Amino acid sequence: MTFTAIRNALQAGIYTVINPFVRLLIKLGFTPNAVTLTGLLLNIGVAVIFIVGGEEGNRGDLRYVGWGGALILFAGLFDMLDGQVARLGNMKSEYGAFFDSVLDRYSELFTFLGICYYLVAHHYLLGSLFAFIALIGSMMVSYTRARAEGLGVECKGGLMQRPERVVLMGVSALACGVSSAWLGGDYKLFVPGVPFHVFETMSILTLPITVLAVLSNITAVSRILQARRALEQKAAAQSDTSKLVATIILLMSALLAGQAVAATPHQGQPMLTFPVPSGVPNQLFYLQRDPNTNTVIYQLNVNRAGQPDEDEPVKVFWIRYAEQGEHKDLNFIQRKFAYGLTAKKIGADKYTLKFAAYDKVPFTLMKWNADNAFHVFATVANRQIVLNRVYLRIEGGTFWVPNVRYIELKGWNAATRQPVVERLAV
């Protein structure tokens, strides 16, 4: 199991535990922004505890460190709560995501401010140096992702994302404060022949911070390399954009025209024999087109509860039959300009879907009363079709301007439950 899979499983388990509390906050009228602001105030409290400890405590008094660590963990809980309040309370917004991201940076800066002040005040100079380096790495981990996404590419992953940083700092500071009650705040471990101590009680905090300093900067560098690869792929893909635009325009003009034609065989070049996809769980419909049998699958994307993922209810990918049936994600151009879908929730278990190539022809994802399962519906010639297959017939032409004869929609009449085929003329 990969680190990402383990991380996602732990996160899902934590959400299961905190969701009842999240629903209580929603009933009490808390908004996601209010929860985010509460987290910021708690992290300011973390800085205050460490600063007071630096001014009023002595080098061997690590109680402030322990209390600071406990508050770091408690404040970190609100980093998870605000997102869940937004999701479960259906209060997601672009400004809310921006507000959360900015205040998270402030929260982390205040936490490092307190820790660095404490270490400098009590002359832990090497530890304070690594704390500053950890601060640099933490900010760069966040900045590299934000800058890459601003350029239109994803840049996630790494060992030291914000949740890991919060847990590492909080647990180590709490353990340092608690351990001082048994070891003593001034405990030092010497090794014969070594002129300086190799461990002291404060090392319970400073050693994890050193690890954080190293891994956060490694994560930032890995994201830089990841962004470079993604941007190079994007640049290469964009060079082929014009080749796809002509096909997209012809395809979508057929959908816009909405003119049904009789489903009679066309006298022209022979049609390919297309395979019927099988063994794909939660398949909604599939798309096939000349000149090969490679097939685009549109699959219901469900969460752990078996419900559609509100952020991405439909997953789109290739089954490349011409390449031994390999499953492959769409590339950037295909996802953004051709076969990709965007979804917007418009009601309980109901989403409007729009093809990336043309957003004026909506489809609807919802449950069909015939089987109480999710399907995609399209309206053609005043009939609502439960979509099963989309076929794009191409006869000759060029790569730049293919001769698209028709678009065929196949499925069931939603009212009569009878099989139906509609061809849209180009």
Question: Quick one: 168 and 258 in the same domain?
Answer: no
Read off the amino acid at residue 226: Q
By C-alpha distance, which of 198, 201, 199 is closest to 172? 201
Identify the helix (H) or strand (E) that includes residue 247.
Answer: helix 241-257
> Given 210, 238, 266, which residue is the final one in a domain?
238
Q: For residue 160, what pLDDT is reported?
A: 81
Question: Quick one: 218 and 249 in the same domain?
Answer: no
> Given 191, 223, 238, which residue is the final one in a domain?
238
User: Could you list the mean pLDDT of each consecutive 10-residue stretch along the chain, which spans 426 residues?
Assistant: 69 76 85 92 97 88 94 90 85 89 94 96 94 95 90 81 90 95 85 84 95 94 92 76 54 44 45 86 91 91 89 93 87 83 90 77 86 90 88 72 79 92 81
Half-sphere exposure of 106 (CA within 13 A, CB side): 15
Question: Quick one: 234 and 309 in the same domain?
Answer: no
Q: What is the CATH number of the domain that holds 153?
A: 1.20.120.1760
By C-alpha distance, which of 100, 98, 230 is closest to 152? 230
Question: Quick one: 267 and 223 in the same domain?
Answer: no
Return the bridge partners of 390, or none: 287, 409
Pairing relationship of beta strands 283-289 and 295-300 according to DSSP bridges: antiparallel
Q: For residue 351, how many other CB atoms are within 10 A of its CB?
A: 22
Q: For residue 258, what pLDDT is reported?
A: 39
Question: Quick one: 248 and 211 in the same domain?
Answer: no
Question: Quick one: 127 and 192 in the same domain?
Answer: yes
Question: Quick one: 293 and 194 in the same domain?
Answer: no
> Given 218, 238, 258, which residue is the final one in a domain?
238
Question: Quick one: 87 and 57 in the same domain?
Answer: yes
Q: For residue 190, what pLDDT is reported?
A: 84
* 3-state SS, one letter per residue, for 252-319: HHHHHHCCEECCCCCCCCCCCCCCCCCCCCCEEEEEEECCCCCEEEEEECECCCCCECCCCCEEEEEE
| Domain range for 360 | 242-425
Question: Quick one: 36 and 185 in the same domain?
Answer: yes
Question: Quick one: 78 and 47 in the same domain?
Answer: yes
| CB-neighbour burial class of residue 353 (10 A; exposed 0-12, middle 13-18, buried 19+) | buried
Question: Quick one: 27 and 171 in the same domain?
Answer: yes
Question: Quick one: 213 and 308 in the same domain?
Answer: no
Give every CB contact of residue 82 below 8 A, 6+ residues apart in sequence: 32, 33, 35, 36, 39, 100
Domain count, the chain: 2
By C-alpha distance, which of 70, 60, 45 is closest to 184? 60
